[in-house]
Amino acid sequence: MRRSQAATTRGWPISSPHVSLVVVGTPVRFLLLTFSSDWLFPTYQTVGLLDALRKDRAQVSFAEIPSPYGHDAFLLEPEEQRRYLEPFLERALFEARGAISPDAHGGEAS
């Protein structure tokens, strides 16, 4: 992988221990959504973050949404985002209230 393709977050390489410092021991669930045509935040960078989070045993869900709209897809595809975001937030609410999570994960990817 070329240096320009190395996934980073806030300037740190994704494989950096900084990801572990943020994640280890937290009850946080992560939802990572990408758009297939986003050139500013390409999917490979999010996959690098996904791999780092999974390595640290974080609770993380991931989905790549097909879209022809490039970086503006997050503005133009709200229903596609909602398909993943709504079940993710519903599950988080149920868990926060100490209830049993809904049987189906809806559109939540993993």
| 20-29, 46-55, 69-78, 86-95: least confidently modelled range | 20-29
Reported as type and span, the H/E element at residue 32 is strand 29-35
Alpha helices in the chain (DSSP H): 17-23, 43-55, 73-76, 78-96
Quick: pLDDT tens for 13-47: 555 555 666 666 677 889 999 999 999 999 998 99
For residue 104, the model assigns a pLDDT of 46
For residue 49, the model assigns a pLDDT of 87
Q: What are phi and psi of 60, to 5 degrees?
A: -140, 135
Angle at alpha carbon of residue 29, lines to 25 and 35, rounded to 5°? 135
